[in-house]
Amino acid sequence: MQGLTVVLEDDRWRAVGLATLAETVLTATLSHLHLDVDASEVSIMGCDDARIAALNAEFRGNPSPTNVLSWPSEERGPLQPGNMPPAPEPDFEGVIELGDIALSFDTCRAEADAAGKPISTHTTHLIVHGVLHLLGYDHETDVDAALMEGIEVKILGKMGYDDPYRDIKA
């Protein structure tokens, strides 16, 4: 995929195969939503808890580490809660700039271990989640969360993964 940039600030992501995983997940997510994979641009950074905590403090006012952060290139949210966000439009060069995602190895590993999952499985889910945020989806209201989680479950299911929310819903 031409429009994917992966930056590894933490070498532990290399063992997870973050670059290959990101390409596979991004392709699956954009294809599911009928978006042009080859025209889309996304940057993904694999970092650690210290770096993501600094980013979280700077951009969200919360100095705690988190699993994933997303920075859409533009606001794409729907006008009404529960509606699908509008599809992104290519720029004058035909590029669909989506934005940036950061993933913390430490938090992702801890969450994966707590759930009894491989880190690659949990990271796959978090990349889908992050890409959906870049596309204007959120989980601020129950109806928006239901929409976003439903799409995540469908994409992950097509990729051969179980519903990551199954245990939460039970």
pLDDT band for position 114 (50/70/90)?
A: very high
Pair 124, 156: CB distance under 8 Å: yes
Q: Which residues contact 25 (CB under 8 A, 6 or more apart)?
A: 124, 127, 128, 131, 159
What is the per-residue pLDDT across 52-71, written as a single tens digit (0 to 9) for each?
A: 999 999 999 999 999 999 99
- pLDDT band for position 169 (50/70/90)? low
List helix spans (H) across the chain.
12-16, 18-32, 49-60, 105-115, 119-134, 142-158, 166-169
φ/ψ of 38, rounded to 5, equals -70, -25
Domains of the chain: 4-162 (3.40.390.30)
pTM of the model: 0.95
DSSP secondary structure code for residue 86 in this structure: P
Does residue 100 surpass a pLDDT of 80? yes
